[in-house]
Structures are given as C-alpha cells and as structure tokens.
Structure 1
Amino acid sequence: MRILIVTAGSRGDVAPFTGLGQRLQQAGHQVALAAHDRFADLVRDCGLEYRALPGDPVELVRARTAAPSPEAAGAVFAAFLDELGEGVLTATAAGTDILLTAFGPAPLSRVVAEGFGIPSLGVYLAPGVPTREFPPPGWPDAGHLSPADNLAAGRELLARTGVLYADVLRRLRARLDLPASTGETPNPPDDWLICHGYSSAVVPRPTDWPTNVHVTGYWWPAGPPGWQPPDLLVDFLQAGPPPVFVGFGSMTPTHERLHEVVAAAVKRAGVRAVVQSGWAELGPAGDDTLLVGDLPHDWLFPRTAAVVHHAGAGTTGAGLRAGVPALPVPVLVDQPFWADRLHRLGVAPPPLPIHELTTDTLTDALRSCLGRSTYRDRATELAHQVRADDGPAAVLSLITQLDGERPAS
C-alpha cells in the first residue's frame, strides 16, 4: 500500500514522522513523506521517498513572529496555506492509497483525499480536539479556565483557524471537481480517525474525546544511518561533569540579547553547556561552552544534566525520553502548553517565557532546575513510562483497519 504522510512547518514537525514512516515501511508499505524542501535530505536519509511541499518554514516563522498584530500574522499564514494546498494536491497525485496528515495541513489534506477518493487519517503531534479537561495548545491566557471554558476555547480556536482556511479550501474543492461546501471549516468529520503521537503518561487521553480519537505514544525520529558524534563533542562531554543543553530549535530570534543572556547565565550558574545554534543562530562560546549544530537528541540528551529548550513538541518528548530535567522557555503556538505540562509533571521549574528571559531569570531558573533532585527523580520515573509505548504500532493497526474498509477497486 502506498502511504503518504503530509506535514508542514519546522524540523520538529517533520522528524517524528521519519520514525513513523520507517516503521510503516518495515511493515511492507511504500511510504512517502511530503515536507518543505529544506527537509528533503532528512527524509531521504531515513530511507523514505521525499515529496516536495512549497514554502520556507524559516521565513514563515520569522514573518509571523515579526508581525505587528494577530491579524497581520494571520495574513502571513493565509498566504502560506494557499501555496501549501497546491503542494498537497501535487504530492498526492504522485501516487497515494492512504493519506496521513499532521494537524497544520489537515483541512487541506482531507479535501485532497476526498478528491482522490482515498481514506485519510490525522497524525497530530499536539492535542488537536476540543476537550473540557484542558485548554487547546495555542490558547492565550489559558491558566485558569473552567471545563466549559476549556471546551469553548477549543471550539473557538478551530473556528478562528477556519477563517484562514476557507478560501483555499474552496479553491481546492473547485480544482478537484468536488461539490461546494457551505461554511467550510477545518473541523474533521465526527468519525474521522485521529492519532496523537505523544504518551498518555504526558497528556492523558481526555475522557470526553470520541472513540475515533486516539493517543498512541510518541513517534520517535529515525536516527541518521551511521551517525557518529563529532570528536569535539565527545571530548567536551568527557572533560567534565554533564553539561546543560541549551537550544531553541526552529525558533528565530525574538530577543535582542539572546546570545549574551545565555552566555552570561551559563557562566553565573557555574555550569558547562552544549549550545545548539538552531534557527536562532545562537553563538555564545567559552571554555565551558561548546557550540553545535543539528544532532540527534536521543544521543545527546541522556548525557546532559538538563535541557533548556523552547518546549516544542518534539524536543519536549526527547527530553522526557532521556529522563533529564527540563527548563522550558516557550515562544509561541503550542510551546506554552508543553512548557506548562513539563512543570505539572514535576520535571521542570515554572516556565520562563522568552519575553521574561534575562540573565538573572535564566540564572535563577538554571539553579532551580539543577538544584532540586526531585526534578531528575521524576524525569527518570516518567522516562520509563514514555519508553514503554509503541506509538507506531497503534497507527499501523488503524491503517490496516482503514485499508480493510476500502471498497475494492
């Protein structure tokens, strides 16, 4: 069976699907992964077919971050969606029997799958279905909502998103000769299967979710074949106590003095650090600091004392898998949700939002994170639960179920 996985966004929106794709391929399926051009090598190096999607996620993040208002950010995203819809259509036309889609492109993918007469399945990296039990990721001021308000917020967020998707969905339906749909929204049909690729030990499955919505466990990124750590990194790790990891992944600079703040806080806290440059292009250096580029988190994180990160879904999961404390510095979208979750799980001090980041606040947070053994004890305990899941197996089972329900051609 030819399976297409469609995702869009940063590296963290792509990497988990390389591991899922490999498992599906090992089960005998042909797997293609559609993503932006900058991730073509990442996909191909994992042995998966790559199909291109238009748009540059670096420019998208920069433009949305720099937008002067929510309305301006929405306009940037709407233009991105217009290109993305065409890309999903082209990728699907290259040969697809079942389409798996991440949350962002899901409304586009469902319409395209309908147009091609093939089944589709949601594969989400963060909670994407409204619930009474917690506010939706990305909802502002979500600290103390009632159950009814949580549910209303989830529905409202989908409704707001629908405004951005409406035009491109209408055009896609026309391109595919599908009947026009009045009031087109990004809401999936009631029976549409959705899998969430995180552990129920991290976010328990809400009791009010319908039976078609699943929490499978994480889909860990596939490791680059034959990867070996650079000698400089190995030497640094062996030269002293475990360092902290500092990296903000695919976040672009939103802090005028981010380099200086990180360097000064690391020095004041008296810790060694491995600093990942990332899209923020961090560059602090010193005798006790090593600057690195992209490398497998599953190799590095277990060798660290703690991880300081932006609380993206993928980095959050990697830290939990490694069993090390976290210091979350959320920037936008679902990151405050995961940052708050890390604190509630007992593996991290209170989140330190990027706009509150100073040398003093980061120094204090580092000391708090490293100074309480309870954070590491809880992280070790939670890691055992997270590693016990087999997320890809659950997705494979549902794909087999979907394939069995397809009418014979």
Structure 2
Amino acid sequence: MEFDGDSAEENGDGVAALRKETKENCDGCSAIGAEFAPDREFARQNGVEGDPSFVSSSEVEKLAGIGSWLPSLENCRIARLSFNAYKKLPYGGHSFSICRSKSEIEESRNFELRLDKLLETEKNKIIELVKVQKDGTVEVDVTKNEPMASELLEFDAADTQHIGVGEGAIEFHKSIPRLKIAMLVVGTRGDVQPFIAIARRLQDFGHKVRLATHANFKAFVESADIDFYPLGGDARVLAGYMARNKGFLPSGPADIALQRKQIRAIIDSLFPACTEPDPDSGSPFRAQAIIANPPAYGHVHVAEALGVPIHIIFTMPWTPTQEFPHPLARVHQTAGYRLSYLVVDLLIWWFIRDIVNDFRRRMKLSPIAYFSTYHGSISHLPTSYIWSPHLVPKPNDWGSQVDVSGFCFMNHSLNYQPQKEFLEWILSGAKPIYIGFGSMPLEDAERTTSIILEALNCTGQRGIIDRGWGGLGKFPEISDNVFILEECPHDWLFPQCFAVVHHGGAGTTATGLKAGCPTTVIPFFGDQFFWGDRVHEKGVGPAPIPISELSVERLSNAINFMLDPEVKIRALELAKAIGSEDGVAEAVNSFHRHLPPELPLPAIASEETGNPVQSIILTMEKWWYLPCIS
C-alpha cells in the first residue's frame, strides 16, 4: 500500500524539526521477523551506522523464556527519541504551541542518554525482571533485580513528563470548531460499541465523524448513522488469537505469523482511514483530529504525519499506575504494579517495531529507537477511560491528562421487540440467570454447555444460554427451565435477569452492573481478568473463574454466591451510582477539553465539493463554533 508522502512534507517546520531530531538520534530500523533483513542503508542514511548499542536476539530470547521460537532481533539499536520537536506542530497550515520548561527537557534527555549507554550486563538485568508465560501473559518479578527495577521506574517517571500532541489542554476554551474526526478502533463488538455512542454525541455537536474499524462491524456502525471505513484485520481471527494466548503476546511459534499479519493489515489501513474519500459515496475526508484505542497501533504515527491532535479512549487501563498492575501482566509484588505497564509496553513495541517503522518510512517519518520513550506508551497523550469511577476510581498517580469518564452505553432496547415465545418464557417463572460469552470462541462448546446445564440444575435455577460466537446450547436435551437465545440486546435482557455469568468484556460487565445484576466473570483473556477482579472486590460477584478452570462445582458455587441477598443489595446500590453517570457526555467533554489551545481550520478548496459556492458555504459552516464547554 502506498501513502501520499507529500502530505507529510506539507506539514511545515514542525514535522521538519521532528525529522531533524529523529535523524540525529534514532536508530536504523531493523527487522523483527527472520523474513525481514535489517535496513543498514537506512541506518547509514540516518547517521547511526556502527552504533555499538544493540540488543541481540539471545537477550530477547532470555526475556521470553521460550527463545526457540522468538523472532530475531539482531541489530536493534538503542537511541533516544523525545517529543521536544512537538513544541511546534502544524495544523492545517498553521501551528499551535506547546510549552515545556528547559529543565524538564534536560532531565528527560539525561534519562534517555543513560538508557542509551546501558552496558550489555545491565541490559541482561532488565531481561531478568520479566518472563512471557506460555499463556501469553507477562510475569514481572521485581525481586529478581530490585536496583534495575528502580532504575526503570525512574526512567518511566522521566518519560511521563514528555508532552505530546494535545497536551497543554484548554481549560477555559469558550468554543470548539467543527472538526472532521477519525475514530480508529480495533477489537470486538464490545470494543466498538462505546465508540458508536461517543461518535453520535460528537455528531450532535456538529462534528463530522468517521468510525474506522473491522469490516465485520460495517452494518453495526452504519445502523447508527455513522460513516464507516474498513480497517484491516478480522475481528474473529483476533478474538481467536487472544483466546488462545490469553493476551496480546504469542505463546508459541504458530501464532506469531498470524498475529503479525493481522497487525500489519491494521496499521497499513490507518492512514487511508484518515485521508481517503468515503468508499461508498466518494465524499472527500481528511481527519483534523484522531480518536483511537491503543490496539490501533500506529494511531500516533498517523497523527504525527498529518499534524493533528490525538485523543486516546479505552475500556481498560493502559496508563502506568501503582494501584493495580497492567491487565496483561501477572505481578506478585505491589512494588511491581507500575513497572508492569512499562514492561508490557516494551514487549509489545519489540514485537511490532519493524512493522511500525516500515509504516513510518512510507509516511516519510524517521524510525523510532529500540528503547525509546516514544515506543507504545500513551502516557504522554490525553486519555479518557470509559468505566465508572464508582467501580474503579481514578488512581491518585494519574495526572490531569487522564480522565475516568464513566461507562458509555447505547440504548439498543428502544426498538427491540422480543419474540413472543421468549417473552412468555421469561414471564413464566422466577428471574433467570443469564449465561453467555459473546464473541469468545470455545474449544468445546458441547462440554461447556453440559457444565452450564448441570450447574443450573444443581442450584435449581432457570437459565438463559446465549449461543454467541462460541456456539453454546448445542445439546441433545434441554430442560424447559433453560432458554437458548440467538441474539438479544443486553440492555433489554439483563434487567429481566436476576444475575449474569459472562466472559467479562468491559461493555458486557458495564451493562450487567447497570442492570443491578450480581456478576460472575469467566475470563478468557486480557482485561477480562481485570474486570472479574474488580467485580469481586466490590462484593457483587465471586472470584473470577478462568474458562480453562470452569467446572460444575465452581459454577454452582458462583451461582449460589450471587443468590445471596446481601450481594444483590450491593449490586443494586452500584447500579444506582452507575445510572447517575453520563459517560458519553464526559468522554466528549474530555476530548474537547484536551484539544490544543489554538486550533485553526484549513481552508476548503473548491475541488473538495466541485462547487465554488458550496465551498464557501462549507467554509462558513466549519468556522461556526460549537457551544461553550463547561
């Protein structure tokens, strides 16, 4: 796929300054996969050929603990890359300024240089701290090398001082221009759904919103009257990979090529998603702001190339904190909680670094170093986390760049009409227990169905089994106390249920808690374990049961836990608190609040509409500002 390199060239002095700095300080981009040869010519052109600082493949093999399959990382050099050049970034032919003190810049440079000059033995000490488990999660053990853990945390503290695109947010901005906003969302239906709610609210403010996500969700997005653009990657393939590996990192060689192919397809589609005309109508589009979730790796690089602000929105924690570990990490010591975010960032960055740098080269951007304060971290970007602060309060060590906005719900139940047979079944007895795993794949759907049926029988409960993508409910004989459901909006269904059992997706968890349902989480991977722990900590559900450990006994005990009247009371109290929030409004306010203080709009050329008069009208509309932001 070819990119319009001229678009980056037109961005002016800001990007030129960034290129100059990265040319002086970045390493040549070498390959992760064995099929990619190190780009020594590019390293030579960028003035870093012969740099003795590098991390060898053997070191990374030690890091993984399963080095026989990990791809080669030969010639991956260490060099610093900072956001100093972002002091002045172009925006539509104009510039906005971001202030940063000289002392902050110097302090960050000192830490970067210290990391650059790490001796080989010191690099090995970093590797001692972490190990990739066979299930794809990351184990962090600070006791392996406490001095090095402290050093990395000190480096992390300096890294968080960097100010990236969008920082220096407007606190007293009276008006916001109407913008063309590209939303870049990677994940399952549950990941996409809250962005649809936010997109609709942004459109109410007069913004033009394009939601770019997997082709699987085209009809879902367009049904909400939102423009759709297809991103690469298949949501079903990604979900299957995550379920097998319990997270982002591959647990064996078979999945490496598959995951890298998916990631490359996603990253390669991001720039067109922000710049290409509408695939159906042909209407021109060029993003003036980007909203993305972290798995849309490459989002910040597109923002850099276009010179536009970016805002991160996510359903699970990705910003370092000392209050709980990264959802993809196992940490046995609280002292390692914050460190786990740095480790996961680095591991993911090392896995996709060559893909990202190849993408950057095609956009005429300089490559990024092996060890870099830039890598995969979002700490320097304005971020909104869309969960309820009543469930997970904002950590004390998150600064003003980070907001916890509240859950973002869509009201699917307005136009939903349940089938007569289903409605009659619901009304024929006590409120049932819902059991379903959404888009999660199942290795043995029949065995899982058998466990569910026996647990419902043991506890004397009626149950709704949702087939989902895993194909639950395929069983020779089903009792009249059980209803097999094909499809039903959760915001209508869950209020009809006494309690819910599900995979722990953020959206499903939110909907169940809003309905006042005690909740049992059966996590498959990723943040599902995090939400299961949070539900249990609040006393509205039992400890999560990993899908691999699901049994009749454990599920029966979980159902009995949820039947406790005290648990139901706590669930109803939490539901009342969540019901008082407007997470969508807060997320939109957060986006507006963190926009740069100067946001001039580019002129609209007559070619964009084909009609000079229409262009003038559109220009006037673009300069018509939105209402005051409180």
Q: Do they fold alike, i.e. is TM over 0.5?
A: yes
Residues 399/328 of structure 1: CA separation in 2 closer, same or farther (3 Å cut):
closer
Asked if 1:188 is matched to 2:370, the reply is no
Equivalent AA in structure 1 for residue 514 of structure 2:
R
Equivalent AA in structure 2 for residue 399 of structure 1:
F
State the 4+ residue runs in structure 1 displaced beyond 3 angstroms. Answer: 63-69, 71-76
Q: Give 2:313's match in structure 1, choosing from 104, 123, 131.
A: 123
Alignment of 1:230-379 (within 5 A): 230-255=419-444, 257-283=447-473, 284=475, 285-370=478-563, 372-379=564-571
Corresponding residue number in structure 2 for 1:398? 590
Corresponding residue number in structure 1 for 2:288? 97
1:189 deviation in Å? 5.7
Residues 2/152 of structure 1: CA separation in 2 closer, same or farther (3 Å cut):
same
Corresponding residue number in structure 2 for 1:70? 251
Equivalent AA in structure 1 for residue 581 of structure 2:
D
Q: Give 1:161's match in structure 2, choosing from 348, 354, 379.
A: 348
Q: Retained in 2: the 8 A contact 1:16–1:222?
A: no
1:117 deviation in Å? 1.7
Q: Cα deviation per residue 1:59-105 (whole Å; 9 max; x = unaligned)?
A: 22224434696243454322211000112111111322211001211
Unaligned runs of 5+ in 2: 1-178, 277-284, 603-630
Please identify the structure whose Cα radius of gyration is greater.
2
* DSSP-derived class of the 1:405 partner: coil
Percent of paired sites with the same residue: 30
Equivalent AA in structure 2 for residue 263 of structure 1:
L
Corresponding residue number in structure 1 for 2:404? 215
Instruction: Please provide the CA RMSD for this pair.
Output: 1.9
Q: Cα deviation per residue 1:340-396 (whole Å; 9 max; x = unaligned)?
A: 1100011001211112111222122212221x1111111111111112222222222
Equivalent AA in structure 2 for residue 11 of structure 1:
R
1:222 deviation in Å? 4.6
Q: Cα deviation per residue 1:22-63 (whole Å; 9 max; x = unaligned)?
A: 111122212221111111111111111111112212122224
Residues 135/87 of structure 1: CA separation in 2 closer, same or farther (3 Å cut):
same
Residues 110/255 of structure 1: CA separation in 2 closer, same or farther (3 Å cut):
same
Residues 12/74 of structure 1: CA separation in 2 closer, same or farther (3 Å cut):
farther
Unaligned runs of 5+ in 1: none
Corresponding residue number in structure 1 for 2:84? none
Q: Cα deviation per residue 1:148-194 (whole Å; 9 max; x = unaligned)?
A: 2101112111111111221221022112111222235111362x100
Structure 1-normalised TM-score? 0.93
Q: Retained in 2: the 8 A contact 1:33–1:49?
A: yes
1:116 deviation in Å? 1.5
Asked if 1:145 is matched to 2:333, the reply is yes
Residues 224/115 of structure 1: CA separation in 2 closer, same or farther (3 Å cut):
farther
Count of aligned residue pairs for this structure pair: 403
User: In structure 2, what is the Cα distance between the partners aligned to 1:374 and 1:251?
Assistant: 31
Equivalent AA in structure 2 for residue 41 of structure 1:
A
Deviates further, 393-402 or 361-370: 393-402
Deviates further, 90-99 or 301-310: 90-99
Residues 331/24 of structure 1: CA separation in 2 closer, same or farther (3 Å cut):
same
Q: Cα deviation per residue 1:244-288 (whole Å; 9 max; x = unaligned)?
A: 100011110045611211122122221111111111110153211
* DSSP-derived class of the 2:329 partner: coil
User: In structure 1, what is the Cα distance between the partners aligned to 2:432 and 2:587?
Assistant: 36
User: In structure 1, what is the Cα distance between the partners aligned to 2:364 and 2:513?
Assistant: 46
Corresponding residue number in structure 2 for 1:109? 299
Asked if 1:226 is matched to 2:415, the reply is yes
Corresponding residue number in structure 2 for 1:31? 209
Equivalent AA in structure 1 for residue 560 of structure 2:
R
